[in-house]
Amino acid sequence: MYKSLFDHIQKFVPLEPSDINILESCLELSKIKRKDHVLQEGQVCNTMYFIVKGCMRQYIINSKGTEQTLQFGIENWWITDYLSFLNHIPSHFYIQAVENTEVIAIDKPLMDSILVQIPALEKYFKIVAQKAFGAAQMRIKFLFTMSAEERYHHFNNLNPNFTQRVPQYMLASYLDFSAEFMSKIRAGKV
């Protein structure tokens, strides 16, 4: 039932059968409907979400009232606001399901208890965070060095199937240009 999470963990650290028993006894799968939020700006983010199936995004609303997506998460990704989660401070972000999504949601007390029972998971979450930070650095590099059109084609090359899963305006904001400009890029009018 939680196979995708166990597989993901075991890419990075080994799990004993007893560890798996512990996890099976305390995890649960939850469903989030498309467009529902699990975090709103101003709330303290108390939960980490592992996406089993579906797609979520982290976004902000800018001063013009437009949504800008900072991060997408799909199968086998963790999504949370780490700063809010770690420091118990209000979040700057919204986190929302883009598709009907199944997640394993782990709130802070449960996470603390799991990490005490299975210390090997500290290493797992270390690696997850280090990879996420590395990816964020690459993302900033691409934002700095590529034109809007290059970012669009580069993203499509890296994620050929993903583009169809989200509305174009969400992807446009993730790549830091306007939805209208995305339209023109796709039409070859630029």
Partner DNA sequence: TAAAAATCTTGAACTACTTCAAGAAATTAA
Partner DNA sequence: TTAATTTCTTGAAGTAGTTCAAGATTTTTA
Q: Which residues bind a second copy (CB under 8 A)?
A: 58, 60, 62-63, 68, 70-71, 81-83, 86, 92-93, 115, 119, 122-123, 125-127, 129-141, 143-145, 173, 176
Contacts of residues 113-120 at CB distance under 8 Å and 24 or more positions apart, as own/partner, are 113/26, 114/22, 114/23, 114/26, 117/22, 118/15, 118/19, 118/22, 118/23, 120/13, 120/14, 120/15, 120/19
Residue 141 touching DNA (CB under 7 A) = no
CB of 1 to a second copy, least distance (A): 26
The secondary structure element, H or E, covering residue 143 is: helix 120-145
Check if the beta carbon of residue 95 is closer than 8 Å to that of residue 58.
yes
User: Residues touching DNA: how many (CB under 7 A)?
Assistant: 21
Residue 37 in tokens: 């939020």
Query: Is 189 one of the binding residues for DNA (CB under 7 A)?
Result: yes
- CB of 138: closest distance to DNA in angstroms? 18
Binding to DNA in span 42-61, by CB under 7 A: none
* Contact window for DNA (CB under 7 A) among 9-17, 38-46, 144-152, 154-162: 144-152
